[in-house]
A and B are shown apart, each in its own frame.
Chain A
Amino acid sequence: MIGVAVTLLVSASKDMSSYATFSQAMQSSSAVKVVGTLSKDKEMYYNPAEDPNYFSFYIQDMDGEVKKVVLHEAKPQDFELSEQIVVTGKMRDDTFMASSLLMKCPSKYKDEEISVRSDISI
């Protein structure tokens, strides 16, 4: 019984990935996870009229390297606000082809401001 449990746990932990950089992704033939931040000065492209399943943007990985990322989905809501982005996928030529994307956003409801009633001017 314990043996089975250990085996299951060990094989489960093989699923755990660690974060890679773009240069590591370049060498890997399987899917990797790259963590980075959105390069806000570079182009973010989503034109649903042309293709509703094509969204491209640039992220800077932990080593500071900036690469283009292509995601074949609609542009996620509040993408510009993301603090950190994790993309899963493979490098193809010089572009990272992402199969999924996770982003960490600051909560919209945490900001410590006091909203003043709109009918009052101070």
Chain B
Amino acid sequence: MGEIEYIGEHLFPGQIGQFLIVLAFSSALFSAISYFFAVKNQDHPLEAATWRKMGQGGFILLAVSSFVIIGTLFYIMVQKYYEYEYVWSHVSDQLPFRYLFSAFWEGQQGSFLLWIFWHSVLGLILMRVSGRWEPSTMATLALVQAFLFSMILGLHITPDFKLGATPFSLLRESEGMTQLPIFNNANYLSMIEGKGLNPLLQNYWMTIHPPTLFLGFASVTIPFCYAVAGLWEGKYQEWLKPVLPWALFSGAILGTGIVMGGAWAYEALSFGGYWAWDPVENASLVPWLILIAGIHTNMVAKSTKHGIKATYTFYALSFFFILYSTFLTRSGILGDSSVHAFTEMGLEWQLVIFMASFGVLSLIQYFSKGRHIPVPEKEESFTSREFWMFIGSLVLLFSSGLITFTTSLPVLNKLMTFYGDLVGQDVSDWHMATPEDPIAHYNRFQLWIAVLIGILSGFTQFLIYKEKRWDQHKRKFWRNMLVCVSISVAVSFLTNLWMKAEGFAYLLLLFTTVFAVVSNLMYLGSVLKMKVKSAASVISHVGFGLMILGVMSSGINKTFISNNSFAMRGIFSPEDERIQKNVYLIKGEPLPMGGYMATYLSDTMIDNNRHYRIQFDKLDEDKKAIVETFQLEPYITYNKELTEMVNPNPSTRRYLHKDIFSHITAAPPKHISVEAAREEDDSLNYQSYSLSLGDTLQVEDLFFSLEELILQPTHPEYKPDDDDLAYGARLAGWDSTGRRYHTNPVLAIKEQRYIFSFYDDIPELGVRIRLTEEGLNKLYPLEQTLSYESYHQKLGDRFTVGDHKVTISGFDRNPEHRNYQPEDGDIAVAVILDIVSPSGEPFQVRPIFLIRENRTYMIKDYQPTLGLSSKFASIDPATETLELLFAQNDMEEVLFPVEIATDAPRDDFIVLEAIVFPGINFFWLGCVLMMGGMLLGMLRRMNWI
């Protein structure tokens, strides 16, 4: 088979992009090597300066390349060039422009590029501000960039081994696609459309969360670069000062990125919480915890020279764990234990090498240089601030160790299997499954971590560095502690009147949390004299306390209000699996639940979402008067074809002191998918009946009457088009009680071939009714069943046809008609007939007389309400007499077919879950303060404020 010349492909941007990736990868290596020699040749200033210039050149080239690569990829996405696999996978015709950023970083390559982008930006800044540290820090950063570029290189080293996966690969050349027959068509591009952005990710969180998180990831690299630089150059203390603002920046941004992920989960997804200890969440939390530990030892080391090794280790570890988390999320190893892992791309080994390289390099450096790190001769005193800060850092390290252990179980299992294969033994017995209840598992251990951090962050503030005169200070210290503890006990007691925590562990946690807040505020007042500029650590630690308080109050007192409280109260304990979490709501029927009357009001389609409006009326104590009314609008999102539901989305009512969170847990089949609706409809036992207007029909013990035929019908599911042929019927149904219910089924023929039947229900009677195509023939009678009568009249004449009064009002020489498509050379004239029915209603019809290619045609016009067909047969030019044909069918006599099923399940319900989270705003406020404190600390240390 010869090469196919494909039509309409745009290969040029891809070639540019691919070239730039290779260029950037080489520049990164070049820059790293140049900077390396700039450090090596420090003793020869001239040579070093040349190497440094080359290093700068290399980095600038790679940074500019990375911006152009991103621009190019963005360009082909905007242009919707589906010949590129990346574009095809993440963009679709209908994707709104505002989601293009999200689509950009939805995939592996795009998110690598995002990471590279931030490294480039931070690198350019670091180059400017780091002064003498430039060569030794930039060498590491350039090397990291080289590794990242290798992930998107897409170069075949051997036929079977490819280095990285490029974002510019062509769809027709990608794996599993090459054999598809569509690519034998040179014009395949005109036939395909992109898959588009996963509807789950089509929200603004996807626009802001990944860039923040990746800026956080990228920023963790800088403290690592400084740590490496300090040891490399043997300047073991000097690096501790310039690194600190970078580390604080990183802590604030990475922390914000993580919390945004939580906010996304809480606001837009139906997890029912902000943190699920999901492996991917953990994977970004662990580097953050270690980084925070590093920031603490960094401050200790800067002030006391204690803990330099620890600082190096923490910064190296936090960077290592960033790589490890990248490995976990991108290798596919988490597979079944995480909800948001990327799909596999065959990058596992490359990621392992990435991790291993930096792991080994750090270890080598540590062991070759570590012994030179100066250690103060005197041990930290038990009463010094540095001692307890150091303890705090270790607690954070433990915390991350525990999280990493559980998160890594899939990796450990894989390693065991690998070992088993190596020694030829089946080791599957050793495999461990993740804990039964991961949230409880993590919380159980992290609770003690939080207790320790609470205590430490409280009293350590009152200690001082390098304490030498403890004897003089201790009175004051203990007095402060006594005050703090007393206030904390009182505040905890008061808080618990509201929180109602029980059990030793929770009460202790509550106390230590309050203690952290109280003692930091006291420190601000008594020692810092309310100088907010210096209060960075106070703000962060108060934030920590409030965050834990929010976790406790929203976690312990999380209550499902979606249960029918009358039936359930006191029967089951909160842990019981039979606890009722969901309620069944019928449209328009109020149901009492958890102190509210809940009423499902309506459902409405907006874009590809179906919104359910639910009204909550809060009742007073006596359950008589309504004290508050609000509406929630949880919705479900459909795929872009609107054939299938993708996921439910919650809706939350916010108060200062609590949130009421709700989401849909089940909906009728017709709201779930086209297939489920069809399956349900197919299972019904429809029977055919005929009835004419005004007739009453009895089916079993039910009665029906046909009240009206509707020619421009409306139905919630029906979207009318101009050339549709459609009708609807209004039927009444009632049972022996005599209460009448109305229903409006619709039938439509689209494009003259596709028949759509839109059924309608009477849920109260369990009835579903649909119309048939045959009814359309009754409404628009077939020609052969009609007998026409001929009338000869002139313009302006009035005459009667049956009971109708007809006037010939004029002609239309450019007629429009459903069944008439004008062609060149046509002579077409419509006659305008005004008709008044016996009841006095006016109508107008316009039958057409057509001459086409020397033949004459009549295009009839039919007035369904009158049942009157009219034709314009001929015109005599001499006498100006028209020949008109009329035929009448009697609508009152026509029997209309309908199909009725009396075993229809209700489809006007939803199943709702509603949860109250008390005090959740403490959590958000705490997080904001924690990150804000770090930013303040950064600005302060840069002398900006």
Interface on A for B, CB 8 Å cutoff? 1, 4-5, 8-9, 12-13, 15-19, 31, 33, 46, 48-49, 52-53, 72-75, 77, 84, 88-89, 97-100, 102, 104, 107-110, 112, 114-117, 120, 122
Residues in B with CB closer than 8 Å to A74 are 581-582, 665-666, 911, 913
User: Please, which residue of chain A has its CB at the minimum distance from the CB of B93?
Assistant: A117
User: In the complex, what's the smallest C-beta–C-beta distance from B714 to chain A, in angstroms?
Assistant: 24
User: In the complex, what's the smallest C-beta–C-beta distance from B174 to chain A, in angstroms?
Assistant: 9
Stretch at the interface among B6-14, B400-408, B419-427, B767-775: B400-408
Q: Do B436 and A31 touch across chains, with their CB atoms under 8 A apart? A: yes
Residues in A with CB closer than 8 Å to B444 are 15
User: In the complex, what's the smallest C-beta–C-beta distance from A46 to chain B, in angstroms?
Assistant: 7
Residues in B with CB closer than 8 Å to A48 are 582, 584, 666, 909, 911
User: Please, which residue of chain A has its CB at the minimum distance from the CB of B399?
Assistant: A8
Given contacts A48-B911, A52-B583, A53-B581, contact A33 B436 (CB under 8 A): yes
Given contacts A8-B398, A12-B402, contact A53 B192 (CB under 8 A): no
| Measured CA separation A15–B180 after assembly (Å) | 48
Residues in A with CB closer than 8 Å to B604 are none
User: In the complex, what's the smallest C-beta–C-beta distance from B329 to chain A, in angstroms?
Assistant: 15
Identify A49's interface contact among B190, B906, B913, CB under 8 A. Answer: B906
| B126 within 8 Å of A (CB atoms) | no
| B176 within 8 Å of A (CB atoms) | yes
Q: Do A77 and B909 touch across chains, with their CB atoms under 8 A apart? A: no
User: Please, which residue of chain A has its CB at the minimum distance from the CB of B394?
Assistant: A1
Q: Do A120 and B191 touch across chains, with their CB atoms under 8 A apart? A: yes
User: In the complex, what's the smallest C-beta–C-beta distance from B911 to chain A, in angstroms?
Assistant: 4
User: In the complex, what's the smallest C-beta–C-beta distance from A84 to chain B, in angstroms?
Assistant: 7
User: In the complex, what's the smallest C-beta–C-beta distance from B179 to chain A, in angstroms?
Assistant: 11
Given contacts A114-B180, A115-B193, A117-B193, contact A16 B577 (CB under 8 A): no
| B435 within 8 Å of A (CB atoms) | yes
User: In the complex, what's the smallest C-beta–C-beta distance from A14 to chain B, in angstroms?
Assistant: 9
Q: List 18 A-B contacts (CB under 8 A).
A: A5-B401, A9-B402, A12-B405, A13-B432, A15-B441, A17-B432, A19-B433, A48-B911, A49-B905, A53-B582, A72-B578, A72-B579, A73-B581, A88-B437, A104-B336, A108-B639, A116-B192, A117-B192
Identify A110's interface contact among B177, B343, B911, CB under 8 A. Answer: B343
| B684 within 8 Å of A (CB atoms) | no
Q: Do A16 and B432 touch across chains, with their CB atoms under 8 A apart? A: yes
Q: Do B577 and A99 touch across chains, with their CB atoms under 8 A apart? A: yes
| Measured CA separation A110–B639 after assembly (Å) | 14
Residues in B with CB closer than 8 Å to A52 are 582-584, 665-666, 911
Q: Do A88 and B432 touch across chains, with their CB atoms under 8 A apart? A: no
Q: Please report which residues of chain B, range 728-763, place their CB below 8 angstroms from some CB of chain A when the two chains form the complex.
A: none
Which of B436, B437, B639 neighbours the largest number of chain A CB atoms within 10 Å of its CB? B436
| Measured CA separation A116–B582 after assembly (Å) | 40
Q: Please report which residues of chain B, range 706-728, place their CB below 8 angstroms from some CB of chain A when the two chains form the complex.
A: none
Given contacts A53-B580, A110-B343, contact A12 B433 (CB under 8 A): no
| Measured CA separation A106–B579 after assembly (Å) | 30
| Measured CA separation A49–B190 after assembly (Å) | 48
What is the size category of the interface that chain B forms with chain A? 35 or more
| B866 within 8 Å of A (CB atoms) | no
User: Please, which residue of chain B has its CB at the minimum distance from the CB of A88?
Assistant: B436
Pair count A-B, CB < 8 A: 115
User: Please, which residue of chain B has its CB at the minimum distance from the CB of A120?
Assistant: B191
Taking A46-B666, A52-B666 as known contacts, 6 extra A-B pairs with beta carbons closer than 8 A to each other, sorted by chain A number, are: A8-B402, A12-B405, A15-B436, A17-B432, A17-B433, A97-B577
User: Please, which residue of chain A has its CB at the minimum distance from the CB of B88?
Assistant: A114
| Measured CA separation A64–B678 after assembly (Å) | 33
Identify B435's interface contact among A17, A84, A107, CB under 8 A. Answer: A17
Q: Do A77 and B180 touch across chains, with their CB atoms under 8 A apart? A: no
Residues in A with CB closer than 8 Å to B648 are 77
| Measured CA separation A110–B56 after assembly (Å) | 42
Residues in A with CB closer than 8 Å to B191 are 116-117, 120, 122
| B23 within 8 Å of A (CB atoms) | no
Q: Do A33 and B905 touch across chains, with their CB atoms under 8 A apart? A: no
Residues in A with CB closer than 8 Å to B913 are 74
| Measured CA separation A9–B584 after assembly (Å) | 44
Q: Do A109 and B437 touch across chains, with their CB atoms under 8 A apart? A: no
Identify A98's interface contact among B93, B577, B647, CB under 8 A. Answer: B577
Identify A12's interface contact among B180, B198, B406, B436, CB under 8 A. Answer: B406
Q: Please report which residues of chain B, range 844-858, place their CB below 8 angstroms from some CB of chain A when the two chains form the complex.
A: none
| Measured CA separation A117–B88 after assembly (Å) | 13
Residues in B with CB closer than 8 Å to A98 are 577
User: In the complex, what's the smallest C-beta–C-beta distance from A114 to chain B, in angstroms?
Assistant: 5
| B195 within 8 Å of A (CB atoms) | yes
Residues in A with CB closer than 8 Å to B336 are 84, 102, 104
User: In the complex, what's the smallest C-beta–C-beta distance from A94 to chain B, in angstroms?
Assistant: 17
Residues in A with CB closer than 8 Å to B441 are 12, 15
| B182 within 8 Å of A (CB atoms) | yes
| B431 within 8 Å of A (CB atoms) | yes
| Measured CA separation A114–B507 after assembly (Å) | 58
Residues in A with CB closer than 8 Å to B581 are 53, 72-74
